[in-house]
Amino acid sequence: MPDALPAWPRPNFTPNAGQPFLLFAAFGALDLSVPIDRDRYRAAGVPGGCELLLYDAAVQKSSFHHLRDSAAWQQAADEAPELAALAKCARQFAFLRGHVRKSFTLEYLRDAVGIIEYLGDRGATAIFDPHTLQFWSPADWHARLFAPAKPVPHEHVLILESEDSGGLAWVHTRGLRKFGRPDLSVRGVGPAYRDRVVDLFNHYVDYLAGGGTILSGDRVTLVGLPPGGIFQVDPRLDHEEFQNAHAECVWPPGALADNH
């Protein structure tokens, strides 16, 4: 019998609160003739509900162009043009994607991280994560996602800041769909509150990755933030700004504009 792989629990797991969706692409000249080593890569196999597909960029041109022409690719390429260039000229790419069937633990994510690590060892030169608008080098993937040998949800979720009206900020996340949970959003944030909103999001990333959930009407409470904030959950998975459900943290107008 093979040795047991490390457990990645979800201590706050709430059933029927959302289905994780995985989407990773690894680009390069891929040699998959050597099977994945279960123990070395800490991967029991492709997570149930997902598939691992190998594409030839010259043959399956439409699949490659669909990725390359996406808004997520363009934003990721702006941040990492060298990796985007490697991906663009790659001969092949492997796609790990699908709706995870069993998510009461994070072992599906453990398996996915190990599979991408394996692809990096088998010729991938760039890894694309559309959920977080991000390219990874195999070296960074190894150091930040695989080597810790435990869930690192903050590496799978980005906290972004965009310009909002009136010189204020829109603080929001990308990536929580990997955990089957809504992304987070707060609009109208002034400089005095930006760090505290980020602290709020960091707390919720741990809680949601651990299996917790948010319901409309839940109160937002954190020392340093004004009272009166509540969550309003939009369940649409095709929302153009998130490509996921999202939980908007709403305060009375102007409450976060400055430090009263």
Instruction: Please name the amino acid found at residue 138.
Output: P
| 20 contacts 180 by C-beta, under 8 angstroms | yes
Instruction: Please name the amino acid found at residue 247.
Output: A
Q: What angle do CA 78, 84, 85 make, to 5 degrees?
A: 115
Kindly report whether the global pTM for this prediction surpasses the value 0.75.
Answer: yes
Report pLDDT digits (tens) over 77-112: 999 999 999 999 999 999 999 999 999 999 999 999
Measured on CA atoms in the order 158, 44, 4, 41, is the torsion positive or negative?
negative
Helices 81-88 & 71-79 angle (0-180, nearest 10): 130
Q: Which two tokens stand for residue 169?
A: 């900020």
Order across the sheet with 246-250: list the strands.
Answer: 158-163, 169-174, 183-189, 246-250, 229-234, 219-220
Asked whether the predicted pLDDT for residue 160 surpasses 90, the reply is: yes
Report pLDDT digits (tens) over 134-156: 999 999 999 999 999 999 999 99
Query: What letter would DSSP give residue 134?
Result: E
Cα–Cα distance for residue pair 103/22, rounded to 1 Å: 12
Confidence band for 63, pLDDT divided at 50, 70 and 90: confident
